[in-house]
Amino acid sequence: MTMSEKILSKKAGRRVYPGEHIVADVDLVYAHDGTAPLTIEMIEELGLRELRSRAIFTIDHASPPPNVDAAANHRRMRDFASRWGVRIFDVGEGICHQVIPERGLVKPWDLVIGADSHTVTLGALGAFATGVGSTDAAIAMLTGKIWLKVPESIAVKVDGTLKNHVTAKDVILEVIGRLGSDGANYKAVEFLGSAVEAMSLDSKMVLANMSVEMGAKVAMIPTDGRTSEWLKERVGHFEGIWPDEEANYSAFYEFPAEEIKPNVSLPNSVDRVAPVEEVEGEEVDLVFIGSCSGGRFEDFLLASRIMRGRKLKEGVRCITVPASKEVQMKLIDSGLMRSLLEFGCTVGPPTCGPCIGAHMGLAGPGETVVSTSTRNFPGRMGSPDSRVYLASPLTAAASAVEGKLTDPGRFLS
């Protein structure tokens, strides 16, 4: 069996097969300030008084609240959480997909439901983690169960050694560029290979996180040594998960690691991918390093390889937003926070921030953005007339130094 089939079989209490509809036990349900208000409304309308699933709220999207409506939503979440016993991570704690694993609240073999499409991020830890709407999240909280179709599984194998200036973001953009925006539609994507195993958990989370941009229902990575060490510090006891040798995949894609170059998603569509070296040169107005895809400690560590000892190009804004308070504290303790400020970055509190066009530094009409975030649809990060390139932290840093879209290989060999 594949990893997703193993988990769904366990949670359904029987062997399940791709294509069939099942009712499965849920281990965790979470929602944020963009989706929790509707979840609360649904629960209150049903008139029930007990939650049967472990539930978490995070205030991370419009956080700190940029307007009165957002502040009112936050207060409603706090009130509900207090009355119903829901654990809540408030303003300043960070983005749900980062805070939940950091706090040891998810482990391999868990079935996790999140009212956000990037819930797939947690599949990097070996959980079946998938995004649903607010209504489904409410029902899962009330019943402790979820109704879903068992997805077919596809394998993405990356073997070999990545170049020094190539990151997990470049890898997943390479995959999305080949498969397209619907190439993994309602599929369970399982990442395999020596290059994947060599990655830190921060990097593995990038692969899982961006898989939804090619339609994935879930993205999973087998438990290895580096992931195990990370889990031991936060979870304690856990059981690792791997696919069977005879696992049946509906498609199998191979990517030689040595052939992958620094990539970008061209404006307006994540799957319009090109090597940076083929499109570099466009002048840049804003660089953003942050989000649930590019705001972990490793992302800032990568960026610092290029930023340290250099200065932000005059006329360019560089906004950096750590994905969680834990990341923020690591930046302070390591001295990287000072390096970011000395380079010329504006550093924000842990939040989604500009990624969703909520606040904290949006793009104006006609401006060009290089961002480590998740999506670049028109208007996603501000004006519909802006242009957003999705890139790795290395490409973002190189572009901030040069003031134009730049291949990081010019700084790192």
Which residues define the annotated binding site for [4Fe-4S] cluster?
292, 352, 355
DSSP structural state of residue 313:
P
Task: Count CB-CB contacts under 10 A for residue 227.
Answer: 22
Sole residue written with tokens 């134009």 = 404
In angstroms, the CA 192 to CA 136 distance is: 31
Rounded to 5°, the CA angle 115-117-123 comes to: 100
In the annotated binding site, the residues are: 292, 352, 355
Q: How far is CA 87 from CA 63, 125, 285, in A?
A: 17, 21, 39
Q: How far out from the chain centre does Cα 222 lie?
A: 18
**Which one, of 321, 307, 316, 277, lies nearest residue 166 by Cα?**
277
Q: How far is CA 250 from CA 9, 186, 330, in A?
A: 18, 12, 41
Q: What is the layout of strands, in order, in the sheet containing 263-265?
A: 273-275, 263-265, 387-390, 368-371, 286-290, 317-321, 346-347
In angstroms, the CA 359 to CA 362 distance is: 6
DSSP structural state of residue 151:
P
Residue 65, H or E segment: none
Type of residue at 146: I
**Which one, of 167, 172, 211, lies nearest residue 306 by Cα?**
167
Dihedral, CA atoms, 97, 316, 413, 305, nearest 10 degrees?
-60
**Which one, of 137, 127, 162, 133, lies nearest residue 6 by Cα?**
127
Two tokens, residue 304:
């610092």
In angstroms, the CA 64 to CA 123 distance is: 28
Sole residue written with tokens 């944020």 = 32
DSSP structural state of residue 230:
H
In angstroms, the CA 196 to CA 113 distance is: 25
**Which one, of 308, 317, 313, 334, lies nearest residue 411 by Cα?**
308
